[in-house]
Amino acid sequence: MPVVAVSVKRMNQLLHHEYEMDRLVAALEQLGCDVEDTATQALYRCPACETPNDKLEQEPAPKRCDFCGYERDEPFEQFATDRVIRLDLLADRPDLFDSGGISRALKGYMGLEQGLSDFSVSKGDVQVDVDPIMNNTDTYRPFIVCAVVTMPLLDQDSLREIMRLQENLHWGIGRDRKLASIGVYDMAVIKPPIKYSVVDPDKFKFCPLGMPGVQMTPRQILEDHPKGKAYAHLMAPYKKYPILIDSKQLVLSMPPIINSDETKCKLGSTRLFIDVTGISRDAVVNSLNTLVSALAELGGTMETVTMNYPDGPQATPNLEPRNIDVNYSAARKWLGLPFTRDEFMGYLRKMRLNVQLKSGDDYTVSYPAFRTDIRHEVDIFADLAIGFEYPNIEPKLVPTMTIGVPRPEEEISSLVRDAMIGLGFNEVMSLQLQSLERQFGKYGMEPSNEHVIVENPKTIEQKVVRSHMMTGLMETFHKNRRKAMPQWIFELGNVVIIDPEKETGTSEYRHLAFGIIGPDAGYAEARMVLDSILAELNLTGEYTPATHPAFCDGRLAEVTGPDGLCARIGEIHPRVLNNFGLAYPVAYCELRLKQVI
């Protein structure tokens, strides 16, 4: 995971106290932050965009800017050093990606403040016109939200913090700009209204960030600019490219690739215009809420922007707190902690939440818009435990001692794993949640009523619970397609299918999947491996011809036998190989080992 460096000096400025580094480290660890180490950083100034770049003191000076992409042969000039605490970013807590958000949490934990922060947003006069063409498939990037934030004059520290938070949010929420990308601009050079539309990639020019005076077309930026080359794959599906432009025809940016040089934030900037665009509404809104809330902790004041969407105007951002009901008795039982009602409420306020009695044991907890990790009352229980403070939890032995034994599916998995390694295979592990396209579309399959579809997924990449394990192996082959051939890999994991007879409505099974790729890979080679595994398990199977859209006709068999034995073995269809960019044939087998639930 990426690492964020938090300045001890800056943190104490925001906390209005002088805490020793050890005290801050201990508090951060109790909040759930993964502290990697403490260090001294050297700060270097980019000659092009003036944004500070940081390196550990023992690392060589940078020659390329992390933010604008400017590069030169000579190292950048160092202008300062800073003592920092280095943290591994927690993907589920983007509000703790910067010193502003961290200081907000620490103020509560250290007893300096309680309850929700006051995020007042005044009504602004800036308008953004959203072209309906953004919903077209050849220009698709439909979601955009904006804000105006007035900051104290930006200095080296605050400019570095904003740019670093922007990039961290690109990783944590935007999935490396795929779902959402952020632009931050100097409002002093922009004349509203602003238009969000598209341009022809070869018939439009502007000066990209880090290249003042150099006019480039969008296509040239993708081919020649460092940021353009890094994110060109995001524009591959589109015939026209997104653009943000003001009433003077001054370009703000070409999302999600690069800002213009004329509108960049710089030392002394004070009024900032912020946009977030993307293909996921939740990712776009969450990115903006997290960013402007962090800037408010750094002294910023927020104004709404009127977004003139095709279906009507809307003011953004909306930082109204969200509410969730929490049961006091359930919290005590879940955590096993003896707190009183007053302590229960105090711990929640300590975690920067508001709480009030609803009725009986039920309380309404208000949480800020940027707390995207809160989805269920157990998420509030986790905050309660932190507020109680883990060192105060008295360790106790469980009242009943038991001897652990492996679950049946783990015993058979261990046997099969040893056999597969002995046959020369390497084990891989893949995710159980996948997108509809990766689970079905690439194989010519259609979702059916056997598959578990997630109704409200975090991202489109987590829309379906896998019902087969082909995707993990095929994507591994794709990532290693330039490595030596042949390649033999396997995976042991669970799949889930709909089962109305079960209490949960689903059945879960432990599967073995293996694949072989190479010039000579085929059915016979895979059959040899499957026969070896069945012999190891003292099983026999009956092979019958079968058809499946992901496999070659006449080169697929289904295997049945006693004790619910079933498997599918065959050669992957060339159409599927093309979908994964594979040049060699693939033999694949998936065997059901045991029912888990």
- Taking residues 364-382, what's their average pLDDT? 94
At residue 423, the pLDDT reads 94
At residue 262, the pLDDT reads 93
At residue 267, the pLDDT reads 86
DSSP state, residue 281 = H
- Taking residues 61-88, what's their average pLDDT? 85
Tell me which range, 391-405, 443-457, 476-490, is most confidently predicted by mean pLDDT.
476-490
At residue 139, the pLDDT reads 86
Of 489, 526, 529, 496, the C-alpha closest to 510 is 496
Tell me the percentage of the chain whose pLDDT exceeds 70.
99
- Taking residues 536-540, what's their average pLDDT? 89
Look at 271 and 56; give whichever has higher pLDDT.
271
Q: Please determine whether the domains at 3-109 and 322-392 fall in the same fold group of CATH.
A: yes
Region of poorest pLDDT, from 69-83, 322-336, 385-399, 449-463 = 449-463
pLDDT tens digits for range 426-479: 999 998 888 888 888 899 988 877 888 888 777 777 888 999 999 999 999 999
At residue 54, the pLDDT reads 84
Is this prediction's pTM over 0.75? no
- Taking residues 405-424, what's their average pLDDT? 93
CATH 3.75.10.10 is held by the domain 121-316: no
**CA Rg, the chain, in Å?**
28
Tell me which range, 259-263, 393-397, 436-440, is most confidently predicted by mean pLDDT.
259-263
Look at 71 and 132; give whichever has higher pLDDT.
132
DSSP state, residue 424 = T
- Where do the domains of the chain lie? 3-109, 121-316, 322-392, 408-595
| Pairing verdict, β 143-150 and 322-327 | unpaired
- Exposure string over 171-199, b if 16+ CB within 10 A, otherwise e: bbbbbebbbbbbbbbbbebbebebbbbbb
Task: Let me know: does 99 contact 8? Beta carbons within 8 Å.
Answer: no
Q: Which pLDDT band, with edges at 50, 70 and 90, does 403 fall under?
A: confident
What fold does the segment set 3-109 form as a domain? Phenylalanyl-tRNA Synthetase; Chain B, domain 1 (3.30.56)
**CATH of 322-392 among 1.20.1440.230, 2.40.50.140, 3.40.50.1980, 3.30.56.10:** 3.30.56.10
Q: Which pLDDT band, with edges at 50, 70 and 90, does 127 fall under?
A: very high
Q: Is pLDDT of 303 > 90?
A: yes
At residue 1, the pLDDT reads 61
At residue 278, the pLDDT reads 95
**CATH of 408-595 among 3.30.1600.10, 3.40.640.10, 3.30.930.10, 3.90.1150.10:** 3.30.930.10
Tokens of 301: 């004041």
| Pairing verdict, β 551-560 and 542-545 | antiparallel
Q: Is pLDDT of 68 > 80?
A: no
